[in-house]
Amino acid sequence: MHRVRHPVRRRPRHPGGSGALSTPRLRIDTPERAGLDPAQLRRVVEDVHALTSGADPWAAGAVVAVGRGPVLAVEEAAGWAVRYASYDPRTGRGVELPAGSRVPMTAGTPFDLASLTKLFTAVAAVQQIERGTLGIDAAVGAYLPDFRGAAAHGVTVRQLLTHTSGLRPELPLYDYADDAARLARLRAEQPVGVPGTYCYSDLNMLLLQHLLERLTGRTLDVLVHEGITRPLGMTATRFGPCPGAAATEDQRRPWAKADRGMLRGVVHDENAWALGGVAGHAGLFSTGRDLAIFCRALLGGGAYGPARILGSDFVELLFTEPGLGFALDQPWFMGELAGRGAAGHTGFTGTMLVLDPATDTFAVLLANTVHPCRRPPDNGPRAALGTRLARAVRAI
């Protein structure tokens, strides 16, 4: 089993979540001022427009944000937030809306973050570890004894955060009649793999959500708002509904797991929807600018402006192999940025963020690749963005 290589040390919380010193906030400026090669960043902008163009684009629309240090050097929107009225399974194509009814993408368009939500759940958990109210190697059963499956197998908090609990990837909770039945099913779920073996699972973050809510007496949406988004000034980041968001899927069986029609502003993930829209693995909506702030705060050792959401030791803990919630050094979506401790995640709806402490850089790519219908994932554009950013740093 993977282990974090340094001990977890309790660190005093700064009063009101603020640090003793203010750190620089993001500002929009040129690539040169950011210490990035403008030619590579021009290609980033060209790429995002190419990805959203044509009859069968990679995504209907997208927003990309790239920066280094306190400088946001690229913030570009392309394509459409809403392009299709429905999906036609006979042709395998979307049914286009009339030109006047389409909604153009803007830099401020919110997106369904899908699994990027896991990063916020992980930060909320590490905040409790920093406070000393949660033990990273404590048994989940010590906090959730009624979750019999995990308790009987000695699943730990660390295993939930590192996807090494042995829990299966997902359960069809959306097929159960009500919340009581869904909760009973989740409580009874036992690991199907050997604890300590990696298996990416939404269930890890669902159990972590229940643990945090039991521990604090507050729901996950409140924990994320009070502990992360409000202090950082991420005013566009919240759990749904989010009426102005980019559209996602015309969600119908057999290609989807539920019959809900064209989705916009409500969570795409069927389990998160069945659970009321607030879930540890999915449900958050956000913008490119807000996620750039989130990246900047983590690259700044947990501080942004006068606010501090984590001590620097605990940000380091998030990014220590194999990563707590965050994936580390994954070339399949980070490209050439992987290799020196880059951290990030992707989301099923077409989202990605990656940050690289070694170069103090970050990239956010938000796209509605599932509009109008889900398709096999193509991670090439995500990896290409990471590669362009890595080359932009090396060229200076």
Average pLDDT (378-384) is 97
Over residues 177-210, the pLDDT tens digits come to: 999 999 999 999 999 998 899 999 999 999 999 9
Average pLDDT (247-251) is 98
Q: What is the mean pLDDT of the chain?
A: 94
The Cα–Cα gap between 189 and 149 comes to 5
Percent of the chain surpassing pLDDT 90: 92
Q: How confident is the model at residue 395 (pLDDT cuts 50, 70, 90)?
A: confident
pLDDT for position 23: 87
Over residues 14-30, the pLDDT tens digits come to: 333 444 467 899 999 99
Q: What's the Cα-to-Cα distance from 220 to each of 121, 146, 166, 210, 280, rounded to whole Å?
A: 8, 19, 24, 8, 7
Domains delineated in the chain: 15-130+219-394 (3.40.710.10)
Q: Which of 322, 353, 336 is nearest to 118 (CA)?
A: 353
Strand partners, 346: 352
Helix orientation angle between 117-131 and 202-216, rounded to the nearest 10 degrees: 40
Over residues 61-73, the pLDDT tens digits come to: 999 999 999 999 9
Pairing of strands 351-356, 361-367: antiparallel
Over residues 211-223, the pLDDT tens digits come to: 999 999 999 999 9
Give Cβ neighbours of residue 358 (< 8 Å, ≥ 6 apart): 340, 341, 342
Query: 42: which 2 tokens?
Result: 């021009």
Q: How confident is the model at residue 394 (pLDDT cuts 50, 70, 90)?
A: confident
Q: How confident is the model at residue 102 (pLDDT cuts 50, 70, 90)?
A: very high
The Cα–Cα gap between 205 and 16 comes to 27
pLDDT of residue 274 exceeding 70, the answer is yes
Strand partners, 351: 347, 366
Q: What angle do CA 382, 392, 75 make, to 5 degrees?
A: 60
pLDDT for position 21: 63
CB 77 within 8 A of CB 233: no
pTM over 0.85: yes
Strand partners, 330: none
Q: Which of 340, 339, 387, 379 is nearest to 363 (CA)?
A: 387
* Residue 254: cis peptide before it, omega within 30 degrees of 0: yes
Over residues 125-163, the pLDDT tens digits come to: 999 999 999 999 999 999 999 999 999 999 999 999 999
DSSP assignment of 195-243: TTS----HHHHHHHHHHHHHHHSS-HHHHHIIIIIHHHT-TT-EES--T
